[in-house]
């Protein structure tokens, strides 16, 4: 008994109550020593007198020091409760009277040691002191703007809560695997950046590190249609769905989180309740395997890897890096776009066994699976594609063998385009020149009949004016301009002589 009392007062907040308890005990001890009420009680028992016992009870009840003590105690505790109610509303960010009452009652429970867990959730991580999870009374949870949680009792999950202050009932608590991060997340699977999964075990590489490297290799290993192994690092970007499909406007407004991050109570509930939990595996698994079994965001990247394997086997290795159509899309881009479509859209375009997208739309089971778990995928990328050394050499040889043919073909195409552009430019220039001559010479309405010299003079003059008015022509055709000037002067003299004669 004494040990339990000492353990109770060992708490740093209850240690302040120890002097008060000692003072109360001393007060009652001095009261009993001063008035000795037990002597009256003992005398009444010895005399077997009921009147003596009644006198003892009256002496206790109407003892002035006792009543004074009780009155002061009542005033003290009244002031304590008023202070708790007044200052308690500033402890947490509460607004309504009901929330203020909840803060007050939990502070009272805390003062007497009957409170439940008081925890904080930050960035999807549960922060609590030692032993908080073992308390069963009413408690409080404070969640930051990037966190949500699903509360549970021993009987199962109860409700999903979002950012803000949440008051829990007796026996209700948040487990470390039932808290969620509302920010956009990414998960990667496959070899680490800069890692060669096909390299043999090095002399300084431990066996465990080699096994882990091989595990990452086989996690995303797939084969092309011509049987070449390809290993990719797959990254999925996703978040807790902030607008699940099938919700009415009323249900959406009731459950949405008022924060700049993603999330909805329906999505949070689905993400936690649908976790693939196996109690036997969890109890016997290591830390990494426990995180895999209980982490709500484990699914998107694994679905992406399965789809990556499914689509890769429809293309040859050479097709992965060669344009397949006029948009210069390679097979690798087509695969990643098809994976993203199946994970982000309720319907997707069917792809044939030869890697050709058909016009038939099929329902996406992957999208439905993610919706059932409250997850919305934003993007799927493959930052690195790794090949065995012999496959790379074979690919380089193929490119080298076809390089000259491709270069000649491209050169021929370029030359044809150049010739076509030159021909079109010449035709356009001839047309503009003829139009200018017609406007400047042939459309002149003159009454006199022109001689050949006069007509030639007007044509040469118009030609000189056209060249001199164009800066580019004037700068590039200096010799031609001088020749035209000499020819125009000679023709002009002939025309003057003809008019004079």
- In the chain, domain spans: 113-181, 185-401, 402-432, 444-501
What number of other Cβ atoms are within 10 A of residue 306's Cβ?
Answer: 11
Answer CATH for 185-401 from 3.30.479.30, 3.40.390.10, 3.60.15.10, 3.40.50.2300: 3.30.479.30
Q: Say which residues have a Cβ less than 8 Å from residue 14's Cβ, sequence separation at least 6.
A: 8, 113
Residue 305: pLDDT over 70? yes
Looking at residue 63, the DSSP 8-state letter turns out to be: -
Q: Strand, coil or helix: what is 36?
A: coil
Determine the average pLDDT of the residues in 120-145.
84
What number of other Cβ atoms are within 10 A of residue 386's Cβ?
Answer: 20
Q: Residues 56-110: pLDDT tens digits?
A: 555 555 555 555 556 666 677 677 777 777 776 777 777 777 777 777 777 777 7
Q: Residues 426-481: pLDDT tens digits?
A: 667 655 655 565 555 554 544 345 555 566 666 666 666 666 666 565 555 566 66
Decide if 189 contacts 302 (C-beta within 8 A).
yes
CA distance 178 to 286: 19
Task: For helices 331-344 and 299-312, give the axis angle rounded to 10 degrees.
Answer: 140
CA distance 263 to 185: 12
What number of other Cβ atoms are within 10 A of residue 85's Cβ?
Answer: 16
CA distance 254 to 251: 5
- 34-38, 137-141, 368-372: least confidently modelled range: 34-38
DSSP class per residue in 222-290:
EE-TTS-EEEEEEEEEEEE-SS-TT--HHHHHHHB--SSS--BHHHHHHHHHT----HHHHHHS-HHHH
Decide if 363 contacts 350 (C-beta within 8 A).
no
Q: Name the nearest CA neighbour of 317 among 216, 231, 407.
A: 231
């Amino acid at each position: 008994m004494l040990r339990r009392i000492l353990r109770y007062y060992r708490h740093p907040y209850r240690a302040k109550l120890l002097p008060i308890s000692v003072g109360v005990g001393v007060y009652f001890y001095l009261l009993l020593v001063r008035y000795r009420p037990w002597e009256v009680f003992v005398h009444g028992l010895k005399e077997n007198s009921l009147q003596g016992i009644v006198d003892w009870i009256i002496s206790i009840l109407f003892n002035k020091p006792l009543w004074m003590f009780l009155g002061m105690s009542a005033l003290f505790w009244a002031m304590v409760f008023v202070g708790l109610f007044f200052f308690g509303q500033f402890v947490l960010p509460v607004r309504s009277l009901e929330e203020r009452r909840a803060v007050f009652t939990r502070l009272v429970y805390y003062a007497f040691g009957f409170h439940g867990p008081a925890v904080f959730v930050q960035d999807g991580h549960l922060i609590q002191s030692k032993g908080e999870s073992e308390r069963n009374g009413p408690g409080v949870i404070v969640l930051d703007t990037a966190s949500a949680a699903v509360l549970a009792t021993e009987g199962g999950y109860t409700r999903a809560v979002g950012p803000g202050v949440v008051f829990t009932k007796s026996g209700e608590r948040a487990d470390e695997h039932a808290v969620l991060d509302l920010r956009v997340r990414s998960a990667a699977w496959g070899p680490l950046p800069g890692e060669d999964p096909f390299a043999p075990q090095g002399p300084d590489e431990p066996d465990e590190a080699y096994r882990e490297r091989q595990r990452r290799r086989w996690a995303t290993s797939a084969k092309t249609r011509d049987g070449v192994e390809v290993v990719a690092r797959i990254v999925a970007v996703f978040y807790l769905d902030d607008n699940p499909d099938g919700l009415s406007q009323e249900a959406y407004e009731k459950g949405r989180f008022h924060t700049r991050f993603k999330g909805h109570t329906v999505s949070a509930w689905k993400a936690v309740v649908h976790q693939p939990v196996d109690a036997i595996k969890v109890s016997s698994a290591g830390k990494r395997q426990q995180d895999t079994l209980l982490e709500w965001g484990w699914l998107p990247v694994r679905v992406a890897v399965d789809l990556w394997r499914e689509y890769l086997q429809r293309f040859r290795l050479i097709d992965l890096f060669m344009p397949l159509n006029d948009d210069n899309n390679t097979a690798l881009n087509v695969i990643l776009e098809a994976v993203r479509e199946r994970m982000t859209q309720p319907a997707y375009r069917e792809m044939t066994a030869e890697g050709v997208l058909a016009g038939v739309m099929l329902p996406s089971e992957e999208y439905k699976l993610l919706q059932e778990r409250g997850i919305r995928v934003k993007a799927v990328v493959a930052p690195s594609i790794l090949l065995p050394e012999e496959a790379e050499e074979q690919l380089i040889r193929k490119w080298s063998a076809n390089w000259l043919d491709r270069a000649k073909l491209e050169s021929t195409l370029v030359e044809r385009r150049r010739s076509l552009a030159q021909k079109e430019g010449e035709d356009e220039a001839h047309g503009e020149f003829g139009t200018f001559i017609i406007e400047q010479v042939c459309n002149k309405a003159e009454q006199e009949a022109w001689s050949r010299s006069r007509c030639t003079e007007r044509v040469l003059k118009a030609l000189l004016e056209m060249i001199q008015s164009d800066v580019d022509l004037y700068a590039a055709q200096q010799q031609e301009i001088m020749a035209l000037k000499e020819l125009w002067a000679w023709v002009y003299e002939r025309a003057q002589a003809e008019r004079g004669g």
